[in-house]
């Protein structure tokens, strides 16, 4: 893992005269040159629209695009590529479920259960759906260890529950949620389950078939792929009854002057020209990650997390928001009493270190944690212990600047 | 450049004019959705002059120092002159270069003040 930084051209950059230390991987990851080459090559040598032209270029583009659907399906353990819908990101994928499944299936008096660890992307769409359908939104509370309260969750479930929305990994605390057990409990009361895998798919193995969830969303850009590509997995038995998400070209079967019929399978949900180059390049990102393997990725992140936790714990002024090790991925949030997270981030940036600060698109969670925001370090394959040593130097500067 | 000058840190750690006013004639609240900073500004205006000003809020060193400095500058001033305040005036008070990401922090107080002045009858 020591040589991996060399595969990422951005690490040649300096920030404020210092080598870039990138610790904001939960926001987006950096891009390996192999993926960038595929992106470039597509536009240089293969650019054409898909599913349309009866000519070589278009057929090539279609084949490459559809091959990534297969690859993505395999990567997350879907049974067939027909369960994979390409979207622009996780947020759009979740909103597709809200519109295409939620509008039809959520009714007055129903209940939607969401966890208190959710990113706004897996919360606000359900707030809106609940509001418009006069359904109730129920929140699974946190324990003192920043995990979800399993007992409280069981009590929230009832035959009224129609949908349960869970993240696999919190983008703030790094908490890994036991989604498989929670999915089984939701199914036992007849609810469907929407999983947000944005933080997990590039970090821990995913097996949607084994997980048995109904919907699963994630983004390419958080796992070395380009921005503008997301995936929505939908269990095949549910897809047919779902309404189209958007209407227009590509998703139609036959169009008359005043009506139209629609394609079936994932193509029904992909109206208009998709991010063809992005999807194809995403395939290269999947290959890159597969070559390294999750065993190595997970061991590396766990090592960095433990090292970072130990470093932060040396400073009594620092409060850490992270569950006990076995429940955490490579994300750690912290706060310093008397220093705003933005000021921490500014001083880190002076040292060339990119960290995220603020609310992390998880405002309700900040309220549960009782803070106005946190500073967050999130790790990936190219990070090193040296990066965390540099972070410690910056942390010392924060404490010195604010005389703490 | 280091933006954490003595002045800024001093105003952040010991801000002036904190606390709500019981006899405010106008108030305005402003918040920065990106970082959650919130401030409520109370003004007591008499004969078109800001007699007293107080604020309640929380935020980063830049936002809190700029509000504290702004309150110092505003007290005793005529509304007509305060309406002319521009972002540059705030940057001058702070005395440091504000990067694009922190502009909203630096101008949180000014935008609350402008909101309050709009609510004030001439």
User: Closest Cα of chain A to B9: distance in Å?
Assistant: 7
To the nearest whole angstrom, how far is the Cα of B101 from the nearest Cα of chain A?
A: 10
- Band of the pLDDT at B2, cuts 50, 70, 90? confident
User: What pLDDT does residue B122 have?
Assistant: 56
Q: How far is B61 from chain A (nearest CA, A)?
A: 7
Same fold, A4-23+294-401 and A35-290: no
* pLDDT in the model for residue A327: 82
| Beta-bridge partners for A176 | A169
User: What contacts A131, CB < 8 A, 6 or more positions away?
Assistant: none
Token code pair at residue A204:
């821990």
pLDDT at B120: 86
- Contact A374/A336 with Cβ under 8 angstroms? no
The C-alpha atoms of residue A361 and residue A28 are separated, in whole angstroms, by 14
**Chain B interface test: which of A340, A344, A356, A368 (most B C-beta within 10 Å):** A340
Tell me the C-alpha distance between A15 and A354, whole Å: 9
- Give pLDDT, residue A68: 98
Q: Is A309 helix (H, G, I), strand (E, B) or coil?
A: helix
How is chain A split into domains, by residue range?
4-23+294-401, 35-290
Q: Which residue has the tokens 């992909």?
A: A270
Neighbouring C-alpha atoms within 13 Å toward the C-beta of A23: 33
For A341, nearest residue in chain B (alpha carbons): B60
Count CB pairs under 8 A between chains A and B.
45
User: d(Cα A115, Cα A171) in Å, to the nearest integer?
Assistant: 13
Q: Which domains does chain B have, with CATH numbers?
A: 6-119 (3.90.1010.10)
Mean pLDDT on B85-103: 93
**Residues of chain B that touch chain A, judged by Cβ-Cβ distance less than 8 Å:** 2-4, 9, 13, 34-37, 58-62, 102, 105
H or E segment at B53?
strand B49-58
- Residues of chain A contacting residue B13, judged by C-beta atoms under 8 Å apart: 338, 402
Candidates A343, A359, A372; nearest CB to B58: A372
Residue with tokens 């060399």: A6
Top-tier CATH class for A35-290: alpha beta
- What's the rounded Cα separation, in Å, for the pair A388 and A260? 57
Q: Which among B36, B60, B102 has the least Cβ separation from residue A359? A: B36
Active site residue A361: yes
Please state, in angstroms and rounded to a whole number, the distance separating the CA atoms of residues A233 and A213: 9
Nearest CA in chain B to A340: B60
Active-site position among A96, A165, A213, A361: A361
Give A4-23+294-401's CATH code, choosing from 3.90.45.10, 3.90.1150.10, 3.30.2090.10, 3.30.565.10: 3.90.1150.10
* Nearest-neighbour CA in chain B from A207: distance (Å): 35
Q: What is the pLDDT along chain A (404 residues), one digit of tens a residue?
A: 778 999 999 999 999 999 999 999 999 999 999 999 999 999 999 999 998 778 999 999 999 999 999 999 999 999 999 999 999 999 999 999 999 999 999 999 999 999 999 999 999 999 999 999 999 999 999 999 999 999 999 999 999 999 999 999 999 999 999 999 999 999 999 999 999 999 999 999 999 999 999 999 999 999 999 999 999 999 999 999 999 999 999 899 999 999 999 999 999 999 999 999 999 999 999 999 999 999 999 999 999 999 999 999 999 999 999 998 678 999 999 999 999 999 999 999 999 999 999 888 888 898 899 888 999 999 999 999 999 999 999 999 999 999 99
Q: Indicate whether B94 pLDDT > 90.
A: yes
Chain B partners of A357 at a C-beta cutoff of 8 Å?
35
Backbone φ and ψ for B110, nearest 5 degrees, come out as -60, -45
Structure tokens at A162: 């129609």
Whole-number pLDDT of residue A53: 79
Q: Please enumerate residues of A whose Cβ is less than 8 A from a Cβ of B.
A: 338-343, 346-347, 350, 357-359, 363, 366, 372-373, 401-403
């Amino acid at each position: 893992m020591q040589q991996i930084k060399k595969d990422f051209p951005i690490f040649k950059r300096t920030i404020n005269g210092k080598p870039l230390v990138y610790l904001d991987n939960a926001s987006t990851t950096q891009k390996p040159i192999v993926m960038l080459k595929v992106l470039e090559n597509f536009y240089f040598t293969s650019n054409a629209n898909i599913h349309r032209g009866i000519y070589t270029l278009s057929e090539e583009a279609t084949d490459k695009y559809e091959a990534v659907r297969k690859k993505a399906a395999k990567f997350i353990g879907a049974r067939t590529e027909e369960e994979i819908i390409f979207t622009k990101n996780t947020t759009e994928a979740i909103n597709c479920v809200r519109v295409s499944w939620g509008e039809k299936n959520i009714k007055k008096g129903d209940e939607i259960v969401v966890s208190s660890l959710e990113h706004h992307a897996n919360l606000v769409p359900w707030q809106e759906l609940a509001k418009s359908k006069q359904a109730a939104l129920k929140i699974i509370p946190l324990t003192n260890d920043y995990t979800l309260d399993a007992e409280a969750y069981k009590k929230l479930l009832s035959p009224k529950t129609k949908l349960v929305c869970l993240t696999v990994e919190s983008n703030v605390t790094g908490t890994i949620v036991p989604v498989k057990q929670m999915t089984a409990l939701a199914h036992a009361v007849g609810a469907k389950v929407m999983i947000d895998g944005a933080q997990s798919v590039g970090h821990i193995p995913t097996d949607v078939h084994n997980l048995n969830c109904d919907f699963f969303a994630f983004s390419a850009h958080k796992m070395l792929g380009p921005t503008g590509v997301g995936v929505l997995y939908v269990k095949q038995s549910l897809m047919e009854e779902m309404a189209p998400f958007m209407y227009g070209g590509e998703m139609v079967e036959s169009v008359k002057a005043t009506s139209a019929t629609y394609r079936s399978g994932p193509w029904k949900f992909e109206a208009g020209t998709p991010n063809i180059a992005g999807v194809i390049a995403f395939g290269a990102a999947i290959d890159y990650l597969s070559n390294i393997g999750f065993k190595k990725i997970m061991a590396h992140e766990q090592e960095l997390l433990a090292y970072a936790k130990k470093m932060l714990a040396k400073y009594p002024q620092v409060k850490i928001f992270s569950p006990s090790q076995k429940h955490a991925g490579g994300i750690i949030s912290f706060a310093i009493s008397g220093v705003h997270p933005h000021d921490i981030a500014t001083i880190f940036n002076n040292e060339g270190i990119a960290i995220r600060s603020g609310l992390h698109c998880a405002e309700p969670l900040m309220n549960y944690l009782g803070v106005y925001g946190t500073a967050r370090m999130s790790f990936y394959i190219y990070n090193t212990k040296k990066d965390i040593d540099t972070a410690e130097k910056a942390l010392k500067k924060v404490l010195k600047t604010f005389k703490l | 450049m280091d933006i954490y000058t003595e002045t800024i840190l001093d105003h952040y750690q010991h801000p002036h004019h904190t606390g709500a006013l019981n006899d405010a004639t106008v108030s305005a609240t402003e918040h920065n959705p990106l970082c959650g900073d919130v401030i409520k500004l109370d003004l007591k205006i008499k004969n078109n002059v800001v007699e007293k000003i107080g604020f309640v809020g929380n935020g980063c060193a830049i936002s809190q120092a700029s509000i504290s400095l702004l309150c110092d500058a505003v007290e005793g001033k005529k509304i007509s002159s305060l309406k002319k305040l521009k972002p540059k005036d705030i940057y001058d008070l702070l005395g440091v270069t504000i990067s694009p990401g922190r502009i909203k922090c630096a101008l949180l107080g000014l935008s609350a003040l402008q909101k309050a002045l709009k609510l004030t009858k001439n």
